[in-house]
Amino acid sequence: METGEIKPKNKIHPHKFTLWVGIGSIVMMFAGLTSAYIVKRNQAGWVSYDLPKAFWYSTIIILLSSLTVQLSVKAFKERAMSKYRKLMFSTLVLGVLFIVLQYFGFKQFWNAGMTLQANVAFSFLYIIVGLHGLHVIGGIIALMVMSLKAFSTKIRIYSSVPVELISTYWHFVDILWIYLLIFLIMIR
């Protein structure tokens, strides 16, 4: 009778699995919305538009925030807690700045008469970009919680899972924004 070595299975953490299921659902939602956008733009009365400069600036900001969140994961794993706190808080500030810039972009649309009722093209734009903004706000709330925990004086459990979760989600909303920006530029 031979005995073999029992190797542990590489299991994904349940919270990470749940996050990936959620990300898959969000991807499907935006795939449906962008598909509907493509179908509708071929109908009569569709109006093309240029994206406001605020959307471009917000793109730079969200890319920077992806860098800071990734560096915060690295700092956490190295137990460089002071650096981790600064980077997590910087990511939070950049996330808020992204939303502020998006607001100014929509304000520019609104002031130019590009309202929800003006044309179906604008309705799609508001819904697609607005839903992305809601997902970013969800990430900002998670970043607030992480920042509060980072600055808390309570005894901490040094599990990198929460930091990795927020990092994964934040990278996802970053990639999603890049996809949406390219989509809105190419398919107007």
The pLDDT, as a whole number, for residue 28 is: 97
- Domains of the chain by residue range: 51-186
Query: What mean pLDDT comes out for the span 102-111?
Result: 92
**What's the pTM value of the predicted model, to 2 decimals?**
0.88
pLDDT at 146 over 60: yes
Q: Please state, for a pLDDT cut of 90, what percent of the chain lies above it.
A: 66
Q: Which has more confidence, 181 or 49?
A: 181
pLDDT at 47 over 70: yes
Q: Which has more confidence, 185 or 6?
A: 185
The pLDDT confidence band at residue 8, using thresholds 50, 70 and 90, is low
pLDDT at 7 over 70: no
Closest to 138 in 3D by CA, of 105, 164, 173, 168: 173
pLDDT at 182 over 70: yes
pLDDT at 163 over 70: yes
Tell me the Ramachandran region of residue 76: left when phi exceeds 0, alpha when psi lies from -120 to 50, beta otherwise: alpha
Q: Which has more confidence, 29 or 5?
A: 29
pLDDT tens track for 108-121: 988 888 876 778 88
pLDDT at 155 over 70: no
Query: What mean pLDDT comes out for the span 97-107?
Result: 96
Query: What mean pLDDT comes out for the span 14-28?
Result: 95
Q: Which CATH architecture has domain 51-186?
A: Up-down Bundle (1.20)
The pLDDT, as a whole number, for residue 165 is: 96
pLDDT at 3 over 60: no
User: Could you tell me the CA-to-CA distances from 137 to 23, 94, 100, 116, 140 in Å, in that order?
Assistant: 15, 12, 11, 21, 5
Burial class (CB in 10 A: 0-12, 13-18, 19+), 72: buried
The pLDDT confidence band at residue 4, using thresholds 50, 70 and 90, is low
